[in-house]
Every structure is written in C-alpha cells, then in structure tokens.
Amino acid sequence: MTDTTATLTPTQQHALFDILTHHETYKEIEDFKYPGAIKAYGPPFQDNLKQSDAPILQTLLSKFILRLPGLRDVSPEFWKTRVADLIEELSQAELSESYDKGLLGVRKTLATAISALIEYPARGSLAGVPKRDKGAKKEYDVSNPEDVMGSWHDALQEATYGSFVDEMFAKAAETDDLSKHPSLVQAMHEFVVVNLASLMHYTLVLSPEGPTILRMISTVHSMLPYTIMRQTLKIGNVASMLSAMMKVILAKASLSTVTNWMGLTTGADEGMNLLQQIITQVLNWDKRELKKRADKIEKDKAGPPKQVLSEITSWITQRSRVEHEECRRQSREQRMSIVAIIMATSSQSIDELKDAQHAQALEYLTLQLGIRDRQEIVRVLCQRNPDHLTAGVRDGVDAYTPMIRYVHQAVNLSDTVWDFEQFLTDMLKMSKPSGPKGKEKPPSVEDYVDLLHRHQQSCHKFLHQVAKNGKEVVAWWKDYVHMAAAEFKEKPNGPDKAIVSAFGKLKASEQNDVKAELDVWSKYLDDLHSASATRIASIITRSGSTPFGPGAYLARWQHLLDTTIITPEKQRGPVRYGGSKSVKEESREGVNGDEADEFAQPKVAASQAARQLDAPEVDKTIGLLGAKFREIIAGG
C-alpha cells in the first residue's frame, strides 16, 4: 500500500527547495563572522577539503567566479593567502552585532541584501531551469508590462537552450543603438533597468542605512582623482599606462618604504596608498561623528553614571567573544536588555538606571561599537603588514593585464571614466530629497529608472566598442557566458529531487507538519510575485509615483532584516526584531544621527518603507530538513 503522505506536489516541491535555499544561503554568509569559517570553505582556499561548510557559496564561486576571464588566471596566493587572511582577520576582529547595537547596521543591511540576491542563481545552478516546449515570442512591446515581465524568463530560456547569446554578441558588435536590437533584448533590458532601479531605490532611500551609504559614496567620489585617471588612460602604451595608473592608486611614499626596499628595516609601516587613504578617511569621518555623540553623552550630567559608561567600554574591549555571546544569551532568556546584563554581570555595584539613562547607555554602547568597528576595519585593510590589500590589487591587475591591453586598444577608456563620473554625480544629486523645506519628498523608483535611462547609452557605447574592436576579449567572454548558461540547464538528479526523497523518510506526522508549512509558503510566493507584477506594471505605465519597486527579492531581503534579533528596548522587556517599530525608528535615524545630513530622507519615507507581505513561519521544515539539505548540496 502506497504511503500518500510521502508524496509532494510540484508546487510543494518548489516551495521546499525555495525555503531551504533561502535559509541555507544566509546561514552560510552569516557563519563568516566566526573565526575559522574560511578554513572549512574548500577551493580555492583549500584544495584537498572533501566537504565544504559553505556548499552554496563554494558552488557559486567555483562555477562562476573562478572561471571569469582574467580572474581565472590570478595567482594561487591571491586566494590562499591574501583573501583568506583578510577574511579570517576580519572575523577575528569580532565586528559588532545588530543585537547589541539595537539597530540594523550597514553590515547587516549589505549581508542580507547579498544573500537575497545570490539565492536566485544558487537555485538556478543547483536545480536548473526547466526546458519549455514553447519558444519565445516574435515581438515584445516595451510599454506592455506583461511583455516586459515575460521577457526575462524567455531570455533565460533562450540563453540556456537556444542561440540567444551568440545573437546578442553579434548585434552588439553591429550597433550601440538599443532600438536596433531584437524586441526580446529591448524588453529584457527594460526588465533589468526597472529591477536595478528598484534595488537602488530600496538600498539608498528606503533602507535605514541609505543616507550612510550615500554619504560614503559621496566622500569616495570627491576623493577620486578623475582628471589624473583620465589623463593616465590616454597614454598609448599599455605597459606605461598601467604602471602610471598603479602609481596613482597604489604607490606609497614614506621613509619606511625606502628602508624596507633597501633591507635596512623589515616590516616597518610604509604608510598608505590612495586606495587605503580613501578607506581610512571615509571611516574616520564616521568615527569622528560617533565620537562627538559619545562625548555629548559623557558630559551630560543627567546621563548615565560614569561607572556605567566605563563598564560598557570595558565590556566591548576587554571581554572575550565567548563572554559577549553569553551575555546575549542571558539577555534573550531573561528578557533584559544587553546594557542591563552588562551591568548585572559587572564586578561593580551599580544602581538600576532610569529609563532615560538606560536609553542613553544603549546609545553609548551603539556608538562605541561603531567606533571600534571602524578602527578594526582600518587596521585590517590599511595598517596590516604585510599589506594584503595592496598585494591583492596588484595580483588582480597582473591577471587582467592581457584583457586590459585589448580593451585599451578597443575603447576610449578616458571617456568611459568620464561617463562613470557623470553617472555618480547625477545619482548623488538625484538621491537627495527635493521640494520646499518641511515638505521635502524622497526620490521615487521612477526617478531611478529615469537615471538609468539617461546614462544607459554610455554602457551601450562601451559594450559596442569592445564587441566591435576587441575580438579576443569577445571570444573569452562569449565562451564564459556559454559555460555559465550551461550551468542552468535542467538537472534530472539535482538536490531538489534528493531533498524530496529525504522528505519521504520523515515520520508521517512530521511530513504533515512540513506539508502544512509548504502550502502556506507556496501561497506566500504567489502573493509576492503578484504584488511585484503590479508594481512593475505601475512603473512601466507611469500610473503614479511608486513608493517601492518590484522584485520578490526585496521581500526576501526585508524578511531577513525583519527577523534579525535585537536587544530589548527597556531594561526589562521582550526581545525585539528588525521589523519592530522601535528598531525601525532607531535604524532610520541611523548610527550617525545627523539630522542635517543632506542625504537624510524625510520621516515620511519610513512609513512608506517597503512593507512586504509577512513571511510565514517555516521552522519545522528547516529544523527537520535544513541539515540534510546542506549535506546533500555538499555532496555528502
């Protein structure tokens, strides 16, 4: 007699694979905050490791990144020494946790964004794209939302199983005019533009860390020597051009540089090159602002007692990672804020703080953690000896020198830098709120769509010149795209099939519990895609200013942020999450708390934030099948 409980419908199978890849991808990224994670990664960091502890990330790196033209020729030391050491040292630095800071920081925002994006190619490469009997349409209307939305899937199908790649390369060599490309390419291009604009808007406007990210971009933009770079790129001899450009970006000029080179000293600090100066100045600017706010709290006579602030500083700098994690555990279990736990575990006798003092103490902890983070990042990237960052950049340039030589002959790179400078200038200007004082409005998704439309010709021009004049480069990239596309062909024995088999081995009651979660998750996915389709139609038809853009990945990103555990707001109270109102308000204000920030969005933006559909709980599915799924994709 057949056990019907062990059968999953195609929709349930899709939901199961979706849940497990979503969870596993972020878990692997999150694990890199712990020392030793890179030592269990596998190639290219360790050649003889039988099983990776990060199978999804390792698969994507091996299939797509390590085969990139240029990067595939980088020296083994680039990965095994330079990159591995930098990752390990950053993890050993124990950069701050969102739980302690009481808000969602830049690292959490970027980590969750990366996870939400790469889980899509992860699913595609692990299970493959099913081949359809029906081919692409003959004509696509760029003004028709249904055509634009369908074009992406049709283009992916044609690239994987058809001749789309060869046709696109050939047409790019003929013209830089998008309107002369097939309508499928035009519609797919519009789909990419709308989704990229949506991601930019979400990151730079709606994200709590948007103003901080924009300010960092603005600072880097103002420090880059564009004029010198453009003049250097005009040098006809490639070797001379590269040498001059490397001197601009990487040269260090100090007495220690000379004495180390002469052998009079060994390992003396040689100072910083331009790249490291930019990193240091950007982070030091933030650090100064944080220090000002911390000093203000220290001088407040009605604020927390000095011994409280001293204990907070001591907890950050003198207690171990194990002690920090134990404090977080106690904070969650005892429903006490991290500050209250720090005080409770202190050797000093400290009276309970007033609510206002506690709020200031929590802010002080946030500020001191931010200061330390920036100090540690500068130490690892800019003050390390030997200097892995500079050596790594040199390794990369050496590997890409053949490609740079051909591209330099095919394209006016000086004009390309000019185009990039103009794009960034326009983006930064447009990203500021506009309107009369007190009635400022944040930029909309449509504004970012228009930004990309204004500058897309620069990209088309560059690609056309390379395709037309750089035959060698085109051949390398065409081979790579064919290889990458082949990785998305349907896999009859993929992990999505294996995990269904693992589901069949669960107890009947467990299967029923998982099925219930899969059904709810399937409906959630349908609702997400329906809502995304509505928003993309609104943008294409310009039916009104869209508060946030399309893309189911935005909901996945928001879900990861919303489920981030955050310390209680009061000395005693429930644990909060990234989606809690108080956390969103604190995160929106930002760790810098500068209301005069030119990029700070109006308060109304917080209420317009992309409130996606709430993701259902799938704890039982992850608990029963998560570990098995990792074992399957790791080859166990």
123-127, 246-250, 266-270, 272-276: the lowest-pLDDT one: 266-270
pLDDT of residue 359: 94
The 10s digit of each residue's pLDDT in 210-224 is 888 899 999 999 999
95-109, 360-374, 561-575, 594-608: which has the minimum mean pLDDT? 594-608
How far is residue 63's CA from residue 61's CA, in Å, rounded to a whole number?
A: 6
Look at residue 606 in the predicted model and tell me its pLDDT: 39
Q: Which of 95-104, 135-144, 207-216, 252-261 has the lowest mean pLDDT?
A: 252-261
Helices (H) and strands (E) in the chain, counts: 28, 2
Give CA separation, 276 vs 383, 384, 387, 417, 512, in Å: 9, 11, 10, 21, 56
Say how far apart CA 340 and CA 328 lie, in whole Å: 11
Dig out the tokens for 578 from the structure: 């990234």
pLDDT, one tens digit per residue, over 360-406 is: 999 999 999 999 999 999 999 999 888 999 999 999 999 999 999 99
Neighbours of 128 (CB within 10 A): 18
Q: Are 103 and 359 in contact (CB under 8 A)?
A: no
Backbone conformation region of residue 142, classed left if phi is above 0, alpha if psi is from -120 to 50, else beta? alpha
pLDDT exceeds cutoff 80 at 305:
yes
Instruction: Tell which wins on pLDDT, 592 or 532.
Output: 532
Angle at which helix 145-161 crosses helix 183-201, to 10 degrees, equals 110
- Please give the pLDDT value at position 322: 96
Of 82-96, 251-265, 548-562, the least confident:
251-265
Structure confidence at residue 428 (pLDDT): 97
User: Which string of b and e fits 58-78 if b means at least 16 CB within 10 Å?
Assistant: bbbbebbeeebbbeeebbeeb
pLDDT for residue 544 is more than 80 = no
- Say what the pLDDT of residue 210 is: 87
Q: What length is written for the chain?
A: 636
- The pLDDT of residue 324: 96
Residue 576, H or E segment: strand 576-577
The model's confidence at residue 607, banded by pLDDT at 50, 70 and 90, is: very low
Residue 89's pLDDT band (cuts 50, 70, 90): very high
At 136-185, the pLDDT tens digits run: 778 999 999 999 999 999 999 999 999 999 999 999 999 999 999 999 99
Does this model's pTM top 0.85? My answer is yes
Mean of the per-residue pLDDT values of the chain: 89
